[in-house]
Amino acid sequence: MFRTMDTESDRLSGSVAEADPATQEAPRAFGSRAPDFIKARRALHLSWQVGVFLVGLAVVGAGVAMLVLPGPGWFVIFAGMAIWATEFVWAQLVLRWTKRKVTEAAQRALDPKVRRRNIILTTIGLVITAVLLGVYLWKFGMTLPWNISE
């Protein structure tokens, strides 16, 4: 039998959220956050889900386009995922996993050894870039690479 990812399937599968130890927030149940009058009518709830999916798809599509065009691509993609997460369990799980990974990365970045290593690597990269730029300017001057005739 076909099952949708709505509150009924969440009850059947016993999916409940776990407490987030990083923020000490109360656990939030998985499933639809649509208003009760919409969830009470199956056809209305299905059309609500289709609408949420299409809006989320448009936002995620715009974010993907912004990865190569000017704009905050990743931020817009995660905003589209947040729109999907208002209705779909899979998006809620993806956002929860992403939040956990970002929190772990932020904690690792604050480690003094990691910060010192990152500062040293950034400094070495900047020195190498400055030396290469200096060699280029010494050899060719202010000529653009595609205008060099050698």
pTM to 2 decimal places: 0.53
DSSP string, 22-81: TTTBPP---S----HHHHTSHHHHHHHHHHHHHHHHHHHHHHHHHHHSSS-HHHHHHHHH
pLDDT of 39-54, one tens digit each?
777 888 888 889 989 9
Residue 116 scores a pLDDT above 60: yes
Domain boundaries, the chain: 7-110, 111-150
